């Protein structure tokens, strides 16, 4: 299936909505049946029937089909957030007494899910450095049921060798989940590499407009059914029809956004790597990345999120740089049409030491490149770096 067919046509039954080119928003909680027999049929397999919007909704279904096709998955479930999608994939895969292996710097709420929430229900966990497969092998126990990956992660972009992890897990009947938010379905296809479940914060590139919080979980129909009957229906973190419609609209331009963002990021990267006030740039496709070869092998293209380490004496220097930027908005999240910065020092007290031996150095600032003209962003970075 080609990309423009998926984005422009797949799942859209235009003849049933009088030819409307943009699909209707089925803003209905419930769907009525003409007879008891039909109603009974609606209950028989809620996964396939449209009865109640916590289960299925026609607008959300269009989006499910598109995101599943983008990931090369049999099916996809949409959630009210990326955290909801990850939690559902994990909760559906483990029971009390099971063990989960997870990369050591996952998205913060993925970490909290394992460390604080599931630990209360007797699910044990080991966080490992996933850049070396030996660490995963070493962490395996007879109780290991799930391996949670995030390749690359969204701050310092460490990768895992997805083929190697999938082989190791499959041989032992262990399920794998990969957070693919950074790469987007266009730049990496974990299911094709043998991973069982792909999760997305659809808030980021998939929607791309910083106006919807959403998540996706892509997998085989069998796994999707299991997640549907379990955490999807019981926890109910579903996406609303209106947000699904906004997401369908956002998805239409995913390829052009990703192309533009990758090209601008290439130029910004070259500027930053040559700048004396930048000690180091973290970016999967940078030649300075020790995992560059793996990134070339398992990713199809580049995204627009990169992190710089500033040459600064103290946190005040980082603050001068960030406060001076005029075309980058300072906030959480990433993946939208607009350039953003996220200074690591913002989540620490103002008097914290820049080296921060227990965690990431406070001299790190993450940039999310948007659809701006490359020269505008470079000029803004140049004037702000001069303020350090
Ligand atoms: C933002 C993010 C999430 C969580 O997604 P929400 O939509 O905010 O719930 C998960 N993983 C990664 C890598 C993220 O950046």
- For residue range 199-249, list pLDDT tens digits in order: 999 999 999 999 999 999 999 999 999 999 999 999 999 999 999 999 999
What spacing in Å lies between the alpha carbon of 276 and ligand 1's midpoint?
32
- With 0-12 CB in 10 A as exposed, 13-18 as middle and 19+ as buried, what is 262? middle
Phi, psi of 238 (to 5 degrees): -90, 165
Quote the CA–CA distance of 72 and 74 in Å, as a whole number: 7
Q: At what angle do helices 374-385 and 254-273 cross, to 10 degrees?
A: 30
Task: Name the percent of the chain in helix, strand, coil, to the closest 5.
Answer: 40, 15, 45
Name which residue sits closest to atom 6 of ligand 1, judged by CA.
82
CA of 26 to the centre of ligand 1 (A): 26
Helix (H) or strand (E) holding 280: strand 278-282
- Read off the pTM: 0.97
CA of 5 to the centre of ligand 1 (A): 27
Residue 44 pLDDT > 90, yes or no?
no
- In the reported structure, the alpha carbon of residue 362 is separated from the centroid of ligand 1 by a whole-number distance in angstroms of 21
Q: Whose CA is nearest to atom 11 of ligand 1?
A: 107
Instruction: Tell me the best of 67, 79, 90, 107 to mutate to test the pocket of ligand 1, counting ligand atoms within 8 Å of each CB and taking the most.
Output: 107
What is the pLDDT at residue 290? 97
Q: Which atom of ligand 1 lies at the shortest distance from residue 150's CA?
A: 13
Residue-wise pLDDT for 109-167, tens only, equals 999 999 999 999 999 999 999 999 999 999 999 999 999 999 999 999 999 999 999 99
* Percentage of the chain exceeding pLDDT 70: 100
End-to-end CA distance of the chain: 50
CA-based torsion, 74, 77, 81, 87: positive or negative: negative
- What is the predicted pLDDT for the residue at 43? 86
pLDDT tens digits for range 285-306: 999 999 999 999 999 999 999 9
Mean confidence (pLDDT) of the chain? 97
Domains of the chain: 3-251 (3.40.640.10), 254-385 (3.90.1150.10)
Question: So what's the pLDDT on residue 221?
Answer: 98
Q: Is the model's pLDDT at 24 over the cut of 90?
A: yes
Element (H, E) at 278: strand 278-282
Q: How far is the CA of 381 from the centre of ligand 1 (A)?
A: 26
Q: With H, G, I as helix, E, B as strand and everything else as coil, classify residue 99.
A: strand
Which residue has a Cα nearest atom 12 of ligand 1? 107
The model's pLDDT over 332-351, given as tens digits with 9 standing for 90+, comes to 999 999 999 999 999 999 88
Ligand 1 pocket mutation, candidates 79, 80, 83, criterion most atoms within 8 A of CB: 83
pLDDT range class, residue 37, cuts 50, 70, 90: very high
181 C-alpha to ligand 1 centroid (Å):
7
For ligand 1, the distance from its centroid to the CA atom of residue 302, given in whole angstroms, is 18
What does the pLDDT average to over 175-200?
98
Angle at which helices 315-324 and 374-385 cross, to 10°: 140
Nearest to 243 by CA among 217, 216, 275, 274: 216
The pLDDT score that the predictor gives to residue 359 is 87
Residue 275 has pLDDT above 90, yes or no: yes
Closest atom of ligand 1 to 215 CA is 7
The set of residues, in sequence order, having a beta carbon less than 8 Å from that of 317 and lying 6+ positions away, is 310, 363, 388
Ligand 1, atom 8: closest residue by C-alpha: 82
Question: Does residue 357 carry a pLDDT above 90?
Answer: no
Is it the case that residue 58 has pLDDT exceeding 90? yes
Q: Which residues line ligand 1 (CB under 6 A)?
A: 81-83, 107, 150, 154, 179, 181, 201, 203-204, 213, 215
State the distance from the centre of ligand 1 to the C-alpha of 151, rounded, in angstroms.
Answer: 13
């Amino acid at each position: 299936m080609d990309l423009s067919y998926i984005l422009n046509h797949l799942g859209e039954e235009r003849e049933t909505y009088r030819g409307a080119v943009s699909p209707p928003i089925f803003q209905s909680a419930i769907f009525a049946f003409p007879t008891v027999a039909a109603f009974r049929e609606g209950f028989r397999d809620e996964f396939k029937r449209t009865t109640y919007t916590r289960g299925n909704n026609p607008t959300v279904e269009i989006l499910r089909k598109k995101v599943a096709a983008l990931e090369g998955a049999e099916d996809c479930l949409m959630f009210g957030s990326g955290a909801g999608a990850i939690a559902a994939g994990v909760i559906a895969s483990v029971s009390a007494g099971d063990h989960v292996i997870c990369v050591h710097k996952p998205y913060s709420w993925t970490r909290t899910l394992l460390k604080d929430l599931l630990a209360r229900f007797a699910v044990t966990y080991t966080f490992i450095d996933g850049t070396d497969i030996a660490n995963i092998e070493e962490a395996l126990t007879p109780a290991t049921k799930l391996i949670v990956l995030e390749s690359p992660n969204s701050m310092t972009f460490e990768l895992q060798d997805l083929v190697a992890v999938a082989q190791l897990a499959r041989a032992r009947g262990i399920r794998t989940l990969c957070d693919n938010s950074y790469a987007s379905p266009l730049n990496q296809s974990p299911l094709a590499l043998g991973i069982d479940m792909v999760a997305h914060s659809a808030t980021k590139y998939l929607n791309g407009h910083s106006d919807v919080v959403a998540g996706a979980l892509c997998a085989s129909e069998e796994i999707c059914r299991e997640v549907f009957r379990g955490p999807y229906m019981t926890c109910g973190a579903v996406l609303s029809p209106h947000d699904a419609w906004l997401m369908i609209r956002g998805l239409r331009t995913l390829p052009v956004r990703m192309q533009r963002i990758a090209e601008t990021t290439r130029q910004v990267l070259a500027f930053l790597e040559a700048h004396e006030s930048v000690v180091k740039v973290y970016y999967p496709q940078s030649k300075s990345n020790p995992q560059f070869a793996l990134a070339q092998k398992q990713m199809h293209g580049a995204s627009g999120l990169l992190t710089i380490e500033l040459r600064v004496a103290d946190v005040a220097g980082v603050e001068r740089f960030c406060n001076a930027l005029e075309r980058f908005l300072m906030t959480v999240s990433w993946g939208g049409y607009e350039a953003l910065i996220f200074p690591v020092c913002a989540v620490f007290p103002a008097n914290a030491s820049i080296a921060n031996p227990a965690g990431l150095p406070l001299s790190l600032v993450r940039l999310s490149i948007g659809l701006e003209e490359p020269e505008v962003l470079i000029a803004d970075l140049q004037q702000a770096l001069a303020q350090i």
